[in-house]
Every structure is written in structure tokens, then in C-alpha cells.
Structure 1
Amino acid sequence: MRIRTTVTVLVLAVIAATAAILLTRPVAAPTPVSAPETSPAPLAAVRHPTEPHRPAPIPAHGSGTFTVDPSAGPLLGTAGRLRRFHIAVETTVADGLPDFTRIVDETLGDRRSWIGDNQHRFQRVPANAAADFTIYLATRDTAYRLCRAGGVNIRVSGVPYTSCRRTGAVVINYDRWRLAVPDYTAAGTPLATYRAYVINHEVGHELGHGHVPCPGSGRAAPVMQTQTLGLRGCVANPWPDKDGH
């Protein structure tokens, strides 16, 4: 019994000594954790990666059929001869009838356009009303056929490249509508500027205006200059001047 008691006392003494050492040993501080600079977004707000936006492809071949805007537009201009027109978009193109109609109306209704000299007025009329001419938006091959039927060849290096005017029709090439031309894009000129130019240029032919050259390097290109084929040193300009150039 005395031996067991001695062993027990020794064990208790060792435990007590160990506890005393642990209590007096310094304890390292916990490593701080950096808080995020901003609170994490709620799960519902986390957006998964998506494919980058890709513009709709530009078809070279179209259906050859057109949708004519069924609505009537506002009277554009305050004085001069009134010319009524239809808007027709090939069913194959992606932009759609409403956008093309809006841009044509805005362009021809701008006081910088042909109505500015008070000699011309325009009005879009529905499909069932008589019109003096039609403004078409057509894929390049369809544009070629429409223009060629009026005796106009729009090919450049074998590709239907430009737009045209033939009797009773202004034909806008969808390639140019979507891509503009190198001289415009190289200068950072907005696509909307080219679109205004090509509408005013081809409608200018409908009004009886012919082509004119660049008047000099650094000057504004006349709207009846063939800007699609090069600015020739002139600066892009989509609007007619007071003399119809």
C-alpha cells in the first residue's frame, strides 16, 4: 500500500509541474485574416461568363423578296415638289424594316438633307399607295440584279460593291449598309454618317443630280461625289450643300 501511495503522489506531482509550465508559457497570437475590400456579391448577382457579342452575319445571297413598310410617314420638308416613296427591305437581311424605315425618315427629314433648299419634299407612303420611287435595302447579289436591270453595274473587282439608283428605285447594298467603306472606317467616321451619305447620294440621283469630283484636299466631299469608291483627299460628308452638291 505504501508503494502504491508513493507512486500516486509522484504522478500527481509530475502532472502539477507540467500544468504549471504550460500556464506560464507565452501563447502566440492568432494570424489575422484579411477582410475582403468589398462584400461578396449575393449569389443571385453572380454572372456566369457568356460568349462575346458577335454581329449577325452578312448574307451575300438573299431571298429576292421584299417586305414593304405598310405605314405612312410624316411629310418631310415645307416647300417644293412632293415625292412619295416606298420602303422595302429584303426578307433575308437581319436589320429589319422598322430600323431601316426610321433611318431613312430621319435622314430625308433632316434640314441638312435635300429638303433644306425648300425645293424638295418627301413622304413615305404605304404599300397600297402610289409612289414615285422605292428605297430598297438588299443583299449584295439581289442589289446587283436590281441595279443591272436598270443598266447599272455595281461590281468592283467582280463583287457587287456599291449601291445604285435606277429609274424608280434607290437600291442600298446591305454590305455597305453594315460595313461602310475603308476611307470612312480608317478615319473613324461613324457608320451612321455613311448611312446618311448613301441615302442622300442615291436619292440625289433620283432628283436628277450627277456625280461631282472632290473640290480639293481637306475640303468636305460633295454628297454627289462617289465617296464609296474613295474620298480622294476630301473629308467625309453626308449632306448636300445649298447648291445640291
Structure 2
Amino acid sequence: MVAPEDDPRRVPRLAGTTPSAGSGRFSHSDRTGPVLGRSGKVLRYRVAVERGSGADVGSFADGVHEALVGPGSWVDGGRLRLRQVPGATGHDFTVYLATPRTAGRMCAAVAVDIRVEGKPYTSCRGPGRVIINLERWRTSVPHYVRAGTPLAVYRQYVVNHEVGHELGHRHERCPAPGRPAPVMMQQTLFLHGCTPNPWPYLDGRRYAGPRR
């Protein structure tokens, strides 16, 4: 059982320190998940956690599933379905949970600089790779925390944002102050008057903002 102080549905961030680096090698979940979505092409994804990060691959897989199953996730459009497959199985993309240093290296390898003030801060996507920064997975971001937004909401956002890039979506802007932030807005860095929102679909309809 998860203690209340460690339940991402209840707290805005987890206590304790985040390892800055791990082994650089990954353990993959051996789970085969259900098909998510009602219609469209099935994209298969794997889930992997860096060894030495202190994170559990099963728990991370649960978090990724919660983000992608919705309601409100990318599968709600009816044009694609998603399914987790084991690490040794053919796949379309992999969702990695990596320590900041490893995430920084993986993102730099696809020409994405995730540093803020010189430190690996954000997450990123490269072809076939969704790379989630462990520090953000554990501690969210200051503006989410100040608003008391549960960590689970940030996790849903960061998965749907980076998977959105894998699906070909680009960054968007806040449509108006007080409106929900589009999932493709860089909510890790700012909200610009919008409110936190982890979903690409709201009330069954695609919700988007102006292109950056």
C-alpha cells in the first residue's frame, strides 16, 4: 500500500533526493498491456527504467498506462490505439525513465538541449524514444507545486506531451489566461496564465492552442 505522503494522487511532489545519475543501462518491463483506444492503427510501446535510479519499472509502467488510457489521452481521437509490449518484443517506441544526467545525454544525442541554468531539467523525445527525466517524475515543477496540483497530474501531462511529439505534434501556446493549457504547451517551463492540463482531449474533443 502506498503511504499518503508517497501517493502521487495526493501530493504535489515526492520527498527525498533524486539520484543525478544511474548506470546508463535500462531494465524493461515484461508486461503485455491491454489495447488502449477503440479504433485506428495500434502502436506498440515498451517501458524502461534506468538501473541505479531507484525507480521501479512496474510502478513507472503503471504511471505511463494511467496517462495513455485517459479518458482524455491521445487514443480518444479514434485514430490510433496504443499497447504496452514486453521489452524484447517488436515495438514502435519506448518510454524511458532516466536520471537527469542520462536524460541529458540521451536528449543531446537527438539535438535536444534539456538544460535549464546548466542542469538537465526537462524531458524530451527522439525518434522512437520518449525520455522522461526522473527528477521531474518525482518532483514535478515549481508552478505546479505552488498550485497544489497532484504529482499524478504532472506525470500524465509529461507522458502525453512527449508521446504527442512522437505522434508528430508540435508545441502550442496558451489560448487565453484562465483557460486550460494545451497538452503540447511547454507546461514544464511555464503556464503563461493558463491552468495545468494533462490531456489532449477535453470533453471528448481535441483541445489545442495556437502553434508556437
The answer to whether the superposition gives a TM-score over 0.5 is yes
In structure 2, the residue matched to 1:26 is none
| Equivalent in 192, 198, 212 of residue 238 of structure 1 | 198
Q: Which residue is equivalent to 1:103?
A: 63
Give, in whole Å, the separation in 1 of the partners of 2:87 and 2:58: 14
| Alignment correspondent of 1:66 | 26
Deviation at 1:111, TM superposition (A): 2.4
- 1:95 Cα deviation (Å)? 2.7
CA deviations 1:111-131 (Å, max 9, x no partner) are 210111111210011122111
Percentage identity across paired residues of the two chains: 49
Unpaired stretches in structure 1, ≥5 consecutive residues: 1-52
SS of 2:46 mapped into structure 1: strand
In 2, distance between residues paired with 1:63 and 1:133? 21
Q: CA deviation at 1:160?
A: 0.4
Q: Does 1:80 align with 2:40?
A: yes
Q: How many angstroms apart in 2 are the aligned matches of 1:129 and 1:104?
A: 18
Matching of residue 131 in structure 1 with residue 94 in structure 2: no
How many angstroms apart in 1 are the aligned matches of 2:67 and 2:164? 12
CA distance in 1, matches of 2:74, 2:109: 27
Q: CA RMSD in A?
A: 1.4
Specify which structure has the higher proportion of helix: 1
Give the deviation of 1:243 after TM superposition. Answer: 2.8
Asked if structure 1 preserves the Cα contact closer than 8 Å seen for 2:125 and 2:131, the reply is yes
2:141 matched to which residue of 1? Answer: 181
- TM-score, normalised by the number of residues in structure 2: 0.88
2:187 — aligned with what?
227
Q: Which has the larger radius of gyration?
A: 1
Give the secondary structure class of the aligned counterpart of 1:222: coil
Give the conservation status (yes or no) of the 8 Å contact 2:21–2:53: no
Distance 2:186 2:115 in 1: 14
Which residue of 142, 147, 153 maps to 2:107?
147
Higher RCO (CA-CA < 8 Å; seq separation 6+): 2
Question: How many residues matched?
Answer: 193
* Residue equivalent to 2:53: 93
Unaligned 5+ segments in structure 2 are: 1-5, 7-13
